[in-house]
Structure 1
Amino acid sequence: MKSIKTYISIVVILFSLQVSAQKILTKKEALQIALEHNYGIKVANNNIEIAKNNASIYNSGFLPSITTNAGANYDNSNQEIERQDGTITNIDGAETKTYNASVNLNYTIFDGLGRKYDYKQLKETHNLTELQARETIENTY
């Protein structure tokens, strides 16, 4: 009898606890989660960003290019100078310092409309990448 009371008490306590289960997932929510976490879609979106950055006037050669160079040299040496009259002069710790710098500006005035067609090609590549990303998203559905 005592064991039955104990058993019933345990069952009542267990059933009186609030049970929480996972929320029921709708089809729309499942698709939303799949689209957010799909690796192929993330790669496709990154490819769109890359193509968007490439399809700019900066990457098609329309702008001039500027190059700068600079340098410095230092030399500390001992020198022995012999003159024509036969005298020898020793110079200890002779320092030589040289510096140089340059700036170059290059701009192509006319290249047979190559820059125009390069820019067009970059824009078309961007459009193609957007279509490929759309295809990836549609294939995920």
Structure 2
Amino acid sequence: MQNKIYITAILVFFGMYMNAQQMLTPDDAIQLTLEHNYGIKIANNTVKVAENNTSILNSGYLPTVTGNAGATYNLDNTEAEFSNGNTTVLNGAESSRYNASVNLNYTLFDGLGRLYNYKRLKEQYQLSELEARETIENTL
């Protein structure tokens, strides 16, 4: 009989400190889904990439600038014999050459290709937003 009292006391003691799981409300479930679903994360990242590509900088409106530079250094030991029989010996002959260039390219007219490219990038951004919304709605 005393064993039953001890067991009951222990169960009551542990029962007071044990908690059940929290109730998951619909709002919490939606929040967790939006935070942890990989399909939604990928869709949101696609929207960010499309937003970055929508910039006028990616449509070809700006000129391109390129620069080149170079240097050559030679250290030679040379022996030259001339047709009259004279011989010249050069030990440690140094020569160096340097060059640099800057190029600027800009297309004045390309048949409105840049304008259409810019409009196409804007449309792709709007499409990616709609696809992300569709993914979110289908997931929920």
TM-score over 0.5 for the pair: yes
Structure 2 counterparts to residues 9-88 of structure 1, below 5 A: 9-17=6-14, 18-88=17-87
Structure 1 runs of 4+ with >4 Å offset? none
Instruction: Give the C-alpha shift of residue 7 in structure 1.
Output: 4.0
Structure 2 counterparts to residues 90-129 of structure 1, below 5 A: 90-129=89-128
In structure 1, C-alpha distance between the alignment counterparts of 2:56 and 2:82, rounded to whole Å: 64
Q: TM-score, normalised by structure 2?
A: 0.92
In structure 1, C-alpha distance between the alignment counterparts of 2:37 and 2:124, rounded to whole Å: 23
**Which runs of 5 or more structure 1 residues have no equivalent in the other structure?**
none
In structure 2, C-alpha distance between the alignment counterparts of 1:95 and 1:20, rounded to whole Å: 86
- Per-residue CA distance 1:83-138 (angstroms, 9 max, x = gap): 34221111112222111111101111111111001000010011111111011001
Amino acid in structure 2 at the alignment position of 1:23: Q
Q: How many residues align?
A: 138
- Per-residue CA distance 1:21-46 (angstroms, 9 max, x = gap): 22110122112101111100000010
Q: Which moved more, 1:41-50 or 1:13-22?
A: 13-22
Amino acid in structure 1 at the alignment position of 2:92: G
**Which runs of 5 or more structure 2 residues have no equivalent in the other structure?**
none
